[in-house]
Amino acid sequence: MRKEVILNTVGLRAGYGGKPVLQGLEIEVREGEIIAVIGRNGVGKSTLMKSLIGLIPTMDGSIVFRGDPVEHLPAFKRARLGIGYVPQGRDVFPRLSVGENIAVGASIKGRLTEQQRREVVETFPILGERWSQRAGTMSGGQQQQLAIGRVLVADPELILLDEPSEGIQPNIVQDIARDMVALNAKTGVTIILVEQNLDMIRAMAQRCYVMDKGRIVANLDRAALDDEAEMRRHLAV
Amino acid sequence: MTGTVLRGLHAAVLTGTLVLASGVALAAEKPIKLGVLEDQSGDFAVATIGKVHAIQLAADEINKAGGIMGRPLELVVYDTQSDNTRYQEFMRRVLQKDKADAVFAGFSSASREAYRPIVDQLNGFAFYNNQYEGGVCDGHMIVTGAVPEQQFSTLIPWMMEKYGKKVYTLAADYNFGQISAEWVRNIVKQNGGEMVGEEFIPLGVSQFSQSIQNIQKAKPDFIVTLLVGTAQASYYEQAASANVNLPMASSVNVGQGYEHKRFKPPSLKDMYVTTNYIEEIDSPKSKEFVAKFKAKFPNEPYINQEAENSYLAVYLYKQMVERAKSTKRDDIRKVIAQGDVCMDAPEGKVCIDPKSQHMSHTIYLAHVNADHSIDFPKVWPDIKPYWLGDAGCDLTKKDPMAQYTPSNPPPK
Amino acid sequence: MDIATFAFAALYQFADAFAFLVLSACGLAVIFGMMGVINLAHGEFIMCGAYVTATAVHAGLPLPLAILAGALVSAVVGMLVEFVVVRHLYERPLDTIVATWGLSLIATQGTLIVIGSTMAGVGTPFGSFQVGAYSYSIYRIVLFLAALGVLGSLYALFNWTSFGVKARATIQVPHMADALGVDTRWIYSLTFACGAGLAGLAGGLYAPTMTLVPTMGATFLMEAFVTVVIGGADVFLGTAPAAAVLAVVKSVMTSWQGQLFGQIGLLVAVIIVVRVLPKGISGFLLRERT
Amino acid sequence: MNGLISLFRRLEGPQTKGRGLLFWSVFMVALIGAIAYPMFSDGYTVGNTAYFFVWVFIALSLCLIWGYGGALSFGQTAFFGIAGYSYGILTLNFGAAYGFTLVAVLAAVAIAAVVALLLGYFMFFGRIEGVFLGIVTLAVTLMLERFMAQTAGPDWRIGAARLNGFNGMSGMPPITIPWFDGPIVLFADVGLYYLILALVVVVYLGLRILVNSSFGNVIVAIRENPERAEMLGYDIRKYQLINFVIGAGLAGLSGVLYTAWGQYITPSSMGMTSAALPLIWVAVGGRSDLTSTLVGTLVVLAGFQALTIYGSQYALVVMGLLLVLTVLIAPNGLVLGAMNVIGRLVARAKGGRN
Amino acid sequence: MALLQLRGLNKHFGGLHVTNQVNLSFETGEIHCLIGPNGAGKSTLFRLILGEYAPGSGEIFFAGEDITTLKSFARIARGLSVKFQVPGVFKGLSVRQNLEIALQRTRHGAELDREIDRLLAFLGLEAEQKQTAGNLSHGQKQWLEIGMATSLRPRMLLLDEPTAGMSPEETFQTGEMVKRLNAEGMTVLAIEHDMAFVRQVAQRVTVLHLGQVFAQGSIDDIVADERVAAIYLGQAHHHA
């Protein structure tokens, strides 16, 4: 049975200061999928993520989440609809404790419950150990886990993961990839992953969009992901 | 470019003068222009809006009665916004552009000192209708307000007799407070009393816990409060709530800022004030004045001494112009020099002292009761502004255009 | 004078100065610390609180409720101001200074035109008590307790409530808070309202002890600014210790040499702090902690 | 000679609006108008215009420090007051003979600059920046006002000059220029007008040269990105300090001229309202350009005065409203916004011809 | 001879050691690359060298002189220069003005203009010289800032991620530019993630990990080092 489309874009144009970076971009993601978006530096992958969550305004086209257009909604309303955003560079709240960071993520649903806390700590035990520590003093990998945990606590239906491997030790990258796949299997959460780290892409993605100059130029299936030559061609390495 | 802009602006807008109810017969005659610079907004507006109204009342009455020598009185009113620079701008404007024959201007001493050099330099003629610290010896100025010797030479001995000889002064730390405190100090000493404390409060300070403690420590028989401005007036409420419970003597409160009306009783209980006028004064003249005033300005919160000063100043000006048959300052000063410019004001008889161009007053001792009603235990008629003349200021002979203080008297 | 009387007197003076500094400053400090906005209409929010309190008392409301009403109305007005003006200027903090000064002009003069030059006072409740040779106003103790209460509630608000955590998150990384579902505009709005409400509360608390005129806010301003300068951008690590330090300076200098020296003490404290701790006490503490 | 030419070249540059024949023609026309107009006007208008010109310097000082340097000083009126009082103290003690008033003008400006040097040292070498700088300077100004307001007692005197507390100091002589057949006393009239006009022109052109010089480059660079500027080897604290001191000197010049104009100086010239006003002029005019600030200041001053004259008690409300609207609607300032539009139109007209 | 020496540098924020007993020396004339995972302390090390942070303990020697307590601008004056990770161009000013501000400390008059023109040509930004720097593309901003940093003719140039956001061609060009500057006598220290760039320019590579020097050697040594691969490169890093 084909799952329903959870998110798609139609002719999406968005960018900074009046200059569109995304040039009529179209993607379609179905419930429960893990898809990757790859492409060279500067093709607009992070811009796409910001545009999906609503941190930059849509100039033209449409973003449809669960059948309803959301491009006119501010970011916080999209988050409340069930889109979780884990940004590049993690952006934890440095002077808030780990627990408070999680609480902000949970605030969509109200106060952080003991149940929610237990679930997050089960997924990322390190967050339990550092619960009262200020987030700004943690290492990059720990912060990445916090950034993901902070989104998970609100039970999102769709997670936008922007370069989670950036600056993080490979073993932790693998851990995170494994955790996300497990989560997807358990809850059916949909994940859009922007990544350059092939290991991570292969460990997680079920299919893969290739972006160039603000457009989707290819849609690769799982088999193509394992094809070294094909991947190198698209990543132009 | 800028010059053009400015000229355009001035040309484009009509003059802002206000002609008051001039009769048809008067219209033909050239009006006598009276400039009015008072603070209708900002810090001092509480006490000064009544002054403007009093001047309007007087001008109205005079115009209805045929004007001055058949000429109508025209008021040119500017709001000086409690801002000294506005006084400078508008004094210049009212003298140079509007060519006012006389100007009624100023509440605070600072504003008077701001405009006085301009009046002197442009050879104008100004009335300062305010009580103040005294000492202005300037032929370009007439002062109708009371000065310290009039208020303290009456108040302090009376208080010492009634309550005792130990005195504590709480004064605003500026010229008025400093000079008034000096007067109090001297009078207390002359009468064999003792100053058990003296404290000066910077302007704008509104918290008095420490001062209250200092007063209790000094154990005076009564306190002289020379506090100025709305912030400092907070003292009374704070002292009352700390149960200081000492009689108070003052020259500024009640008569100027009508604190007894504004504060909740009994914070001003047993406050004694010497003033030349307040609306509670129970004489026929005063009652008539209050009635006229309230008829014209029914919402006026209070008619204070400055309102009466301003009102009588218009009539004094009328009298002087009519006697001099001229609006020129020099001609008017010749009339003053005769020493008999007097009138029956709402407060009683007042006269201009030719030496200092200040005014004699009837001084009322107003006593605030626990319910903030007023009674008058004593009235001193015809108290003269003697100090300046005694100290050596004689405007009939020499015009130094300066302000003196007891510690800085005129050169002999 | 015995030592106990003296000690109590000193303590009382400290508490009194502390209360005034904390209550004057904390509305300003919340808005400055959390939003980086200098609210020059701070004094007018204080005035608003005082006026509403007095009006409510005249209308027959008991004083504590009237004070709350003053704080509440100020908060609502603050929210309105944020919505109409301040909201559009977050990218330009220096322009908010100009705009809020404009607002303060409108508020002061508008109040004078609409309500008149003065308002009847409400009288200080509770009376006095005696320690040694001195009698003291009980209400001043209430003010001190109120100052402590305000600090405590603020601490609780920003650390223990969901709003507080979201507000601090918003201050640190606004776009991320937004992306996590926090309505940051609403948070800014509430923070500004909170600052305005605190100013209103200060006005309400001091209304029984002061002359009520449209320009009354000005008497709080200098103390408020000095406290914020010395405290720096953080309310708890800055405003509270700054107020404590300044209260000691002020009460010692005042009892030693009179009110003037109290004021000079504040000036000297500002200059020393500017040189030694340029980011204020909280800047110093936070640098140590990060 | 070459140096002089390269100096004049700096009259135009990327840091100032207005260049080329058209701009300087307008400038000359305006200047000639300003020189000629007292002949067609009355004493009041000339004196009043001179009074407006007095404030131009403090506005330009804020333009330099805030608009160009990016450091908001809320304390320019402190230097205004310090210089004004210094002029009063000096001339009351030493009189006006032998052109001493001119010496006093310079000395007073220098005193303001020295105080700025001290305060600026504390601030910039303490790395205070942004909005906090505004709060610190404002706090210092308010404290100075309160201090001066309580100097009423007879002990507060410097030589023959009594500070005279809140009432302010008066009685100082106007600026007096020694001349062959007796000194010329510059009361607030045509004489003073021409002196101040000359100063306005000199200061305006001088500042144009300054901001287009390499010093101006660094100042603007610090506003744009202080860290980068420092990493280009500039001791930015020193540049900020010098800029602050120059600004203080200009504010001081306003203070001296104001004192000489009205023979009066008061603590309230340093108060909250006085401190905010220059900010208003500069913000409304357009803070990042000297010409906009100059024109804006004069327009706002004339406008506010007209409002006060004709608007009675509503003047302050209207003023406040204007400020709020300006900030919301024309954030770069009204004059600068207008100049940008004109610039674009001129460019389009030229483009159309080509 | 070592141009820059770091002796036992420590910097910690709270309990977290960002650099921990770092001893490093950089030789005159070399191109040295600093690599390591994010959070390894690379940028912090730059800030310590530049004087933006004061070290908790340790010393910094430049050309034999102890510069540990000098202010940033004084270090620049002694011959250090930097391009930041996030380009720090003066966004509101034109490209030409940006270069003028960089150059005017040492050059004046016509010589200044000539030198600006030369740099514009070198950077390939002649067409953009009147544009506001804030409107440049990300790559162009990087170039402009590199231009500003090199215009000081420093003895040692610090580059923090000089090729971030550049295409491979641009990255290659940047590498060539760095080599040319080095040939003219400039010592270069670069933080870079792009291993192609590191391979292209680096004569020596230092790996930082958890605030400590983890390994040092030629690029081949480093790539061959299993331990390094484990912490940084991963088994199939696409650049490697």
Q: How many CB atoms neighbour CB A59 within 10 A?
A: 16
Please state, in angstroms and rounded to a whole number, the distance separating the CA atoms of residues D93 and D101. 11
Please report residues of A whose CB lies closer than 8 A to that of C285: none
Please state, in angstroms and rounded to a whole number, the distance separating the CA atoms of residues A82 and A65. 9
Task: Quote the percentage of chain B above a pLDDT of 70.
Answer: 93
Task: Quote the percentage of chain C above a pLDDT of 70.
Answer: 97
The alpha-helical segments, DSSP class H, found in E23-167 are: 42-50, 72-77, 95-103, 109-123, 138-151
Q: Which residue has the higher pLDDT, D202 or E169?
A: D202
**The pLDDT of residue A198:** 77
| pLDDT higher than 60, residue B14 | no
**The pLDDT of residue B8:** 36
Residue B3 pLDDT class (50, 70, 90 cuts): very low
Give Cα E207 distance to the centre of its chain: 15
Answer yes or no: do B1 and D315 touch at CB < 8 A.
no
Chain C contact for A235 (CB, 8 A cutoff): no
- Three-state SS at C117: coil
Predicted confidence (pLDDT) per residue in A29-68, tens digit: 999 999 999 876 667 888 899 999 999 889 999 999 998 9
Identify the CA nearest to D299 among candidates B4, B96, B41, B90.
Answer: B4
A and D interact (at least 3 Cβ pairs within 8 A): no
| pLDDT higher than 70, residue B166 | yes
| pLDDT higher than 50, residue A207 | yes
The CATH topology of domain C3-289 is ABC transporter involved in vitamin B12 uptake, BtuC (1.10.3470)
Average pLDDT of chain D? 87
Please state, in angstroms and rounded to a whole number, the distance separating the CA atoms of residues B289 and B269. 27
Report domain extents, chain C. 3-289
Please state, in angstroms and rounded to a whole number, the distance separating the CA atoms of residues A87 and A93. 12
Please report residues of B whose CB lies closer than 8 A to that of D37: 3-4, 7
Answer yes or no: do A111 and C183 touch at CB < 8 A.
no
Closest residue, chain B, to D46 (C-alpha): B3
Select from C40, C86, C95, C273 the residue whose CB has the most chain D CBs within 10 Å, as the one to mutate to test that interface. C95
Secondary element (H or E) of residue B33: strand B32-38
Average pLDDT of chain C? 85
Chain A contact for E109 (CB, 8 A cutoff): no
Please state, in angstroms and rounded to a whole number, the distance separating the CA atoms of residues D350 and D333. 26
| pLDDT higher than 50, residue B4 | no
Task: Quote the percentage of chain B above a pLDDT of 90.
Answer: 55
Predicted confidence (pLDDT) per residue in B129-145, tens digit: 999 989 999 999 999 99
Please report residues of B whose CB lies closer than 8 A to that of D166: 108-110, 174-175, 203
| pLDDT higher than 60, residue B254 | yes
Closest residue, chain B, to D302 (C-alpha): B6
Say what the alpha-carbon torsion angle E8, E13, E15, E20 is, to the nearest 10 degrees. Answer: -20
Please state, in angstroms and rounded to a whole number, the distance separating the CA atoms of residues C253 and E139. 60
Identify the CA nearest to A139 among candidates D239, E176, D126, E14.
Answer: E14
**The pLDDT of residue E235:** 41
Given a contact cutoff of 8 angstroms between Cβ atoms, the answer to whether D76 and D275 are in contact is yes
Predicted confidence (pLDDT) per residue in D138-177, tens digit: 888 888 888 888 887 778 888 888 888 888 888 888 888 8
Chain D contact for E134 (CB, 8 A cutoff): no
Given a contact cutoff of 8 angstroms between Cβ atoms, the answer to whether D140 and D73 are in contact is no
Average pLDDT of chain E? 83
Q: Distance, in angstroms, between B86 CA and closest chain D CA?
A: 9
Residue in C175, C177, C183 nearest the CB of A104: C177
Residue in D6, D224, D227 nearest the CB of E93: D224
**The pLDDT of residue B1:** 39
Answer yes or no: do E16 and A197 touch at CB < 8 A.
no
Report domain extents, chain D. 2-272
Give helix then strand counts, H and E, for chain C: 12, 2
- Report how far apart, in Å, the C-alpha atoms of A237 and of each of A87, A196, A207, E169, E224 are: 24, 11, 20, 11, 21
Answer yes or no: do C172 and A96 touch at CB < 8 A.
yes
Task: Quote the percentage of chain D above a pLDDT of 90.
Answer: 34
**Among the listed ranges A186-195, B310-319, C228-237, which one has the minimum average pLDDT value?**
C228-237
Closest residue, chain C, to A54 (C-alpha): C179
Please report residues of C whose CB lies closer than 8 A to that of D131: 32, 36-38, 93-94, 97
Show the tokens assigned to C211: 């002359």
Residue in A40, A41, A168 nearest the CB of E38: A168
Q: Return the partners of chain C (3 or more C-beta pairs < 8 Å).
A: A, B, D, E
Chain D contact for C268 (CB, 8 A cutoff): no
Please report residues of C whose CB lies closer than 8 A to that of B204: 218-219, 222
**Among the listed ranges A197-211, C113-127, E66-80, which one has the minimum average pLDDT value?**
C113-127
The ipTM assigned to this model is 0.81
Select from C180, C182, C186, C285 the residue whose CB has the most chain A CBs within 10 Å, as the one to mutate to test that interface. C180
Please state, in angstroms and rounded to a whole number, the distance separating the CA atoms of residues A175 and C145. 53
Predicted confidence (pLDDT) per residue in C137-158, tens digit: 888 889 999 999 999 998 888 8
Q: Return the partners of chain D (3 or more C-beta pairs < 8 Å).
A: B, C, E
B and C interact (at least 3 Cβ pairs within 8 A): yes
Please report residues of B whose CB lies closer than 8 A to that of D152: 173-175, 177-179
Q: How many CB atoms neighbour CB C275 within 10 A?
A: 14
Q: Distance, in angstroms, between D141 CA and closest chain C CA?
A: 10
Which residues 98-127 on chain C approach chain B with CB closer than 8 angstroms? 109, 112, 116-124, 126-127
Residue in A91, A110, A151 nearest the CB of C173: A91
**The pLDDT of residue E231:** 61
Q: What's the CATH code, domain E2-88+143-239?
A: 3.40.50.300
Determine if the pTM surpasses 0.80. Answer: yes
Predicted confidence (pLDDT) per residue in E102-138, tens digit: 988 888 888 888 989 988 988 888 888 888 888 887 7
Please state, in angstroms and rounded to a whole number, the distance separating the CA atoms of residues D128 and C274. 8
Residue B21 pLDDT class (50, 70, 90 cuts): very low
Answer yes or no: do B175 and D41 touch at CB < 8 A.
no
Q: Distance, in angstroms, between C288 CA and closest chain E CA?
A: 7
Chain A contact for E138 (CB, 8 A cutoff): yes
Please state, in angstroms and rounded to a whole number, the distance separating the CA atoms of residues B249 and B168. 10
Answer yes or no: do B89 and D44 touch at CB < 8 A.
no
Answer yes or no: do C97 and D134 touch at CB < 8 A.
yes
**The pLDDT of residue C97:** 82
E and D interact (at least 3 Cβ pairs within 8 A): yes
For range D189-195, the mean pLDDT: 87
Report domain extents, chain E. 2-88+143-239, 90-135
Please state, in angstroms and rounded to a whole number, the distance separating the CA atoms of residues E44 and E36. 12
